[in-house]
Amino acid sequence: MKKAICISVISAAAIWLAGCASSTEPGGSNDLTANWSYSATSVVTSNTTAGTAALTQSGSNVTGTLTCTSNPAGCPPAASVTGTVSGAIVTLTISYTCGGTPYPLTATGTIASPGTTMSGTYNQPAAGSCAADAGNWSATD
């Protein structure tokens, strides 16, 4: 159960990192292509997870990899990230599995001007033997 919650926190953090942009494109849309540092705290367990996310944006689509570097319950080595950005709003999905069952985490957030920080919330429904989780995240470029 702790491992499942940890995975959720990590996923959320990755999603939020993706939302932090280091620059903006002409027209004001945020470009999330960067290496981000994130922190996410579960409102279920109070555990905090930290790590990095390497993100690439093409148009409104975001892809990348989330890596957990710190979590009291342990965390997976890496997870894939996909999502979208629309103006200052980012929505990311981090792909995890729990005993072979898909266990995706969805994170949403707001990119703060000038695009080097971001914060929001995440949600991960229960899957298989893994518990549901939710919390808050923030990230910097």
pTM (2 decimals)? 0.77
CA distance 23 to 32: 8
Give the pLDDT score at 74: 63
Q: How far is CA 8 from CA 17, 96, 107, 112, 127, in A?
A: 14, 8, 10, 24, 11
> What range does the domain containing 69 cover?
2-140
Cα separation values, 93 from 65, 104, 136, Å: 11, 6, 15
| CATH code assigned at 104 | 2.40.128.120
Provide the domain count of the chain: 1
Q: Facing residues of 95 across strands?
A: 80
pLDDT value of residue 5: 45
pLDDT tens string, the chain, 141 residues long: the values are 445 444 444 444 444 444 433 444 433 457 899 999 999 999 999 999 999 999 999 999 999 999 988 876 667 778 999 999 999 999 999 988 888 888 899 999 999 877 789 999 999 999 988 899 999 999 998
- Give the number of C-alpha atoms closer than 13 A to the C-alpha of residue 76, restricted to the C-beta side: 21
